[in-house]
């Protein structure tokens, strides 16, 4: 069975794996919530180094921000390894690293945050305003880590940009490239279906995984509601 989220510590060095979706409330084994991350981090005890491996399509913005802040405030040196894909809010979590290593063939994806909801036009306009504020906060995190001007990052996010390992290092999103080949398993194609510009080579490499019908139904509802929101705000 795949261990999507786990933490373990040996001789003051902790290994953390985030290989699934970031969520507000954990219901499935493949998910990571801020609460589960916090509890596991406490159980590690006093460690001096955290090695964080990421292969995730993203998920909940606020839970991802909380995980980012927990890592940033931790006294340990944090080394991030993008094992396959750090997309959406998972790319924000990656920015918490003192070092950020891209495996050969791995990718970062940066985009504007989106949400799913049901409601009238006024409620959707309010949601759009909230999304803009969330996006501004993420822009600041990216800018602080990369040194790229906020205006340029806003353009990068609006375009839903997929960065190769080499591009991520060259442009300052990561610190080094590791020739160890990336593996994009544990990222279901259904999750990537929420994004607009997924490269074909990424789809060809992610896990062909059968999700539960409940998860598939939820993802389909999210896609339909997201389309309604984009239509309402004119995107």
C-alpha angle 30/35/38, rounded to 5°? 105
Q: Which residues are within 8 A (CB) of 114 and not within 5 positions of it... i.e. 6 or more apart? A: 131, 194, 226, 229, 230
Sequence-distant (6+) residues with CB within 8 A of 200 are none
> Collapsing DSSP states into helix, strand and coil, what is residue 183?
coil
Q: Is 111 a catalytic residue?
A: yes
Q: How many CB atoms neighbour CB 171 within 10 A?
A: 16
Contact in structure between 73 and 53 (CB atoms under 8 Å): no
Q: Classify residue 56 by burial, with Cβ atoms within 10 Å: 0-12, 13-18, 19+.
A: buried
Catalytic residue among 33, 88, 91, 106: 88
> Known catalytic residues?
88, 111
């Amino acid at each position: 069975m795949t261990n999507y989220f786990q933490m373990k510590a040996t001789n003051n060095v902790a290994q953390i794996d985030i290989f699934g979706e970031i969520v507000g409330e954990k219901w499935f084994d493949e998910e990571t919530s801020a609460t589960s991350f916090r509890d596991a981090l406490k159980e590690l005890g006093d460690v001096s180094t955290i090695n964080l491996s990421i292969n995730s399509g993203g998920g909940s913005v606020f839970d991802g921000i909380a995980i980012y802040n927990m890592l940033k405030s931790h006294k340990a040196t944090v080394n991030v390894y993008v094992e396959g894909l750090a997309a959406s809010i998972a790319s924000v979590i990656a920015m918490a690293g003192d070092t950020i290593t891209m495996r050969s063939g791995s990718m970062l994806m940066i985009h504007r945050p989106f949400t799913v909801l049901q409601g009238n036009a006024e409620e959707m306009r309010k949601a759009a305003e909230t999304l803009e504020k969330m996006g501004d906060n993420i822009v600041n995190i990216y800018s602080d880590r990369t040194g790229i001007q906020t205006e340029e990052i806003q353009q990068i996010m609006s375009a839903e940009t997929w960065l190769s390992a080499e591009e991520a290092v060259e442009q300052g999103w990561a610190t080094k490239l590791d020739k160890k080949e990336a593996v994009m398993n544990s990222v279901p194609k259904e999750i990537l279906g929420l994004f607009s510009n997924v490269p074909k080579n990424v789809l060809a490499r992610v896990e062909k995984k059968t999700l539960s019908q409940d998860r598939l139904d939820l993802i389909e509802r999210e896609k339909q509601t997201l389309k309604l929101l984009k239509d309402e705000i004119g995107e």
